[in-house]
Amino acid sequence: MIAFLRQTISIKYIVIKIILFSFLLVSITHAKVKISVEYSESANYFDIMDNLSSWWDGFTDIEYSMEWEKRNGVKTHEDIRLFEKYAKLRKQYYKDPDQKEKDPLKNRNGFFSMSSSAKADPMAEAFYSSLTLDEAYKKLENKLNLEEIDFLKSFYLHFKIQAEVFLKESEAFRAILPKMRKSLTGNKVTSYFSKVANFYNVEPSLEYRILYVWFPPIERSNASPTEKYLVMRYNPIKALKIAEEDSDIAFH
């Protein structure tokens, strides 16, 4: 997971920069840009468990496991077995050479994502583009086999009670969505992004989705771009005010 950001940096400024530079990474013509700002339990639950699995060293944050065990106790043998199986599945379906370098100053794409990212990570694409787990499972039917999808269902069901505390906390994100939507989805803003996209010969219809997900209560926040998604990681209790203030920063 790239684009490590400290809370002292304007997340919204990074959002705008990432969106603008993402237009450089695709190439057709006459673009119309649509930007949505969402909280999705599917995306949130996936992102939490993805980090907890530590499936790729350097791209998942250990603080997730620390907070999980603080709230739920040490992982059981069955928990560990499921996480190991999940990690194996993630590695099997993830195909992106840029995963090798987390530091945006060293990664060839810097803060920005390639248009091939969605194809490189079909599992993330399914959950980030869905509102519910069932919707994500449906989208995975042409990517994973039935046994693998059944495993994912059992995986998320097994951890649902323990994860519920984080999911309930995350409902607080809904309160700050209107401000960010007002800042980034108004007619003047989308018109501006569309003009920029046309200037750079971007694909005819570009949809960009900004997703808020849970992050441990530590002294930093995190954001990572994945093709048409920008995953914004804040702690919904400790850092909600920061997220809300970020959405009020004037658009330059």
Give the pLDDT means over successive 10-residue stretches in the chain (252 positions): 40 59 49 83 98 91 96 97 98 75 48 54 96 98 98 99 98 94 72 66 71 96 85 95 65 38
**Which pLDDT does position 9 carry in this prediction?**
43
Residue range of the domain that includes 118 = 4-246
Q: 184 near 193, Cβ under 8 Å? A: no
Question: What phi and psi, each to the nearest 5 degrees, are found at residue 119?
Answer: -70, -30
Beta bridge partners of 225: 230
Q: 43 near 231, Cβ under 8 Å? A: yes
Has residue 45 been placed in a domain? yes
The residue with tokens 């750079």 is 200
Q: How many domains does the chain have?
A: 1
**Which pLDDT does position 216 carry in this prediction?**
98
**Which residue blocks in the chain are alpha helix, DSSP H?**
11-22, 41-52, 62-72, 77-93, 117-120, 122-128, 133-139, 146-170, 177-184, 187-199, 240-246
d(C-alpha 219, C-alpha 221), whole Å: 7
d(C-alpha 123, C-alpha 241), whole Å: 31
Q: 225 near 3, Cβ under 8 Å? A: yes
Helix axes 11-22, 187-199, angle to 10 degrees: 40
Has residue 251 been placed in a domain? no
Has residue 200 been placed in a domain? yes
- Kindly tell me the burial class for residue 188, based on how many C-beta atoms sit within 10 Å of its own C-beta (0-12, 13-18, 19 or more): exposed
Helix axes 41-52, 62-72, angle to 10 degrees: 100
Question: What phi and psi, each to the nearest 5 degrees, are found at residue 214?
Answer: -70, 145
Q: What does pTM read for this prediction?
A: 0.79
Has residue 30 been placed in a domain? yes
**Which pLDDT does position 62 carry in this prediction?**
94
Q: What is the DSSP string of 123-182?
A: HHHHHHT-SSHHHHHHHGGGTS-HHHHHHHHHHHHHHHHHHHHHHHHHGGGGGTHHHHHH
**Which pLDDT does position 249 carry in this prediction?**
34
Has residue 252 been placed in a domain? no
